[in-house]
């Protein structure tokens, strides 16, 4: 059985004394500052005091936070075993607890060094073709600093030459098998701020048999993807689900930012959107529509103007929509 605590942490939720903040904080007083979701570690389930549907086992938690299907949630979990199974939980928590003992910016420094070891995407490479097939071309790749793991063993060894395995595991780059993560997800999409400093990244599969397609760097997501679009100047910004949709819009000259999943928008991010009119273009599926409703409420309560893109047929996302029409 999976450890709910370990799963929640791997999803970037902040677990404090067996509780974490509800993924629908707007339904709670003070944005759920005093966390309402309790974890029953022995029973292997979680439950929100307020929200009826925020409860269940590990699979349900992954589905809720990432907005993915049950099948994908099961695969996501099995992909990350054994670090999140209960038997290894003590080991895992001990390791996790130690990140606080690390110097400031330990994780940030590790992300920076990892990304600087990676190569830019080459035209005519497999990833280059994959992006071009989605209508996303080199000037956009270069602008947002897309990277790839083109030689997995080389990068692994280079990291191991610089850091101890334990540090790489605490930092989140290596799994509990002692291997660099992201082996089957070689497209690395950094989350950079307006000064081009990377604080987070997402690893994306280009092989359609790999599921789920994306794997986030561990820990909390600091800000929406392509944050530099949120410059505080008056204008319209498109809010998409996923970095590929964001890149699709950037390629076509729109101002766009992304969130990694329909439910990953954090209430405090509303502040980043000042002076912007926000057009929501989350996927037209159940998770996407619920996410739009929730984000609309959050933005509106901050006095921001929002509207829904409203053009996506059932089941489509921005990338499939544009590519079917260009
Ligand atoms: Zn709740």
- pLDDT score of 95: 47
- pLDDT score of 88: 43
- pLDDT score of 105: 85
206, 165: one domain: yes
Calculate how far, in angstroms, residue 14's C-alpha sits from the geometric centre of ligand 1.
Answer: 15
Inside any domain, residue 308? yes
Query: Checking DSSP bridges between strand 198-204 and strand 187-192, what pairing results, if any?
Result: antiparallel
Q: Give pLDDT tens digits for 246-293.
A: 999 999 999 999 998 888 888 889 999 999 999 999 988 888 888 898
Calculate how far, in angstroms, residue 35's C-alpha sits from the geometric centre of ligand 1.
Answer: 9
Calculate how far, in angstroms, residue 231's C-alpha sits from the geometric centre of ligand 1.
Answer: 31
- pLDDT score of 30: 78
The closest alpha carbon to 258, from 300, 219, 201, 321, belongs to: 201
Q: Domain of 108: which CATH number?
A: 3.90.980.10
Tokens 């993807």 correspond to what residue?
225
Q: Buried b / exposed e across 14-41, counting CB within 10 Å, b at 16+?
A: ebeeebbbbbbbebbeeebeebbbbbee
Torsion 76-81-83-87 (CA) sign: positive
Calculate how far, in angstroms, residue 176's C-alpha sits from the geometric centre of ligand 1.
Answer: 31
Calculate how far, in angstroms, residue 48's C-alpha sits from the geometric centre of ligand 1.
Answer: 5
Calculate how far, in angstroms, residue 138's C-alpha sits from the geometric centre of ligand 1.
Answer: 42
- pLDDT score of 114: 96
- pLDDT score of 271: 93
* pLDDT < 50: residue spans in the chain: 87-91, 93, 95, 97
Q: Using an 8 Å Cβ cutoff, are 64 and 263 in contact?
A: yes
Where is 78: in which H helix or E strand? helix 70-80
Inside any domain, residue 222? no
Inside any domain, residue 148? yes
Q: Using an 8 Å Cβ cutoff, are 296 and 280 in contact?
A: yes
- pLDDT score of 240: 94
The closest alpha carbon to 132, from 326, 293, 286, belongs to: 326
Burial, 103: exposed, middle or buried (Cβ in 10 Å; 0-12, 13-18, 19+)? Answer: exposed
Domain membership of residue 75 as a residue range: 4-99
- pLDDT score of 215: 84
95, 137: one domain: no
């Amino acid at each position: 059985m999976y450890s709910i605590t370990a799963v929640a942490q791997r999803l970037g939720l902040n677990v404090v004394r067996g509780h974490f903040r509800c993924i629908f904080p707007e339904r709670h007083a003070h944005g759920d500052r005093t966390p309402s979701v309790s974890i029953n570690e022995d029973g292997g389930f979680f439950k929100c005091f307020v929200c009826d549907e925020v409860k269940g086992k590990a699979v349900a938690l992954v589905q809720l936070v990432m907005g993915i299907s049950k099948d994908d949630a099961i695969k996501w979990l099995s992909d990350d075993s054994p670090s999140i199974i209960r038997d290894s939980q003590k080991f895992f928590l001990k390791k996790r607890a130690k990140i606080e003992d690390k110097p400031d910016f330990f994780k940030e420094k590790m992300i920076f060094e990892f990304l600087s070891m990676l190569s830019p995407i080459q035209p005519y490479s497999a990833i280059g073709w994959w992006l071009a097939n989605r209508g996303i071309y080199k000037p956009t790749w270069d602008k947002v600093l897309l990277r790839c793991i083109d030689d997995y063993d080389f990068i692994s060894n280079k990291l191991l030459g610089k850091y101890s395995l334990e540090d790489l595991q605490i930092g989140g780059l290596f799994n509990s098998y002692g291997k660099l993560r992201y082996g089957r997800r070689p497209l690395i999409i950094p989350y950079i701020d307006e000064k081009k400093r990377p604080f987070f990244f997402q690893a994306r599969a280009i092989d359609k048999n790999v599921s789920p397609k994306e794997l986030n760097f561990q820990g909390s997501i600091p800000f929406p993807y392509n944050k530099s679009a949120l410059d505080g100047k008056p204008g319209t910004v498109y809010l998409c689900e996923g970095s590929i949709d964001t890149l699709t819009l950037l390629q076509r000259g729109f101002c766009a930012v992304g969130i990694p999943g329909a439910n990953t928008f954090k209430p405090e991010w509303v502040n980043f959107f000042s002076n912007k009119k926000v057009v929501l273009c989350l996927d037209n599926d159940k998770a996407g529509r619920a996410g739009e409703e929730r984000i609309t409420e959050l933005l509106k309560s901050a006095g921001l103007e929002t509207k829904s893109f409203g053009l996506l047929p059932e089941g489509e996302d921005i990338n499939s929509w544009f590519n079917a029409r260009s």
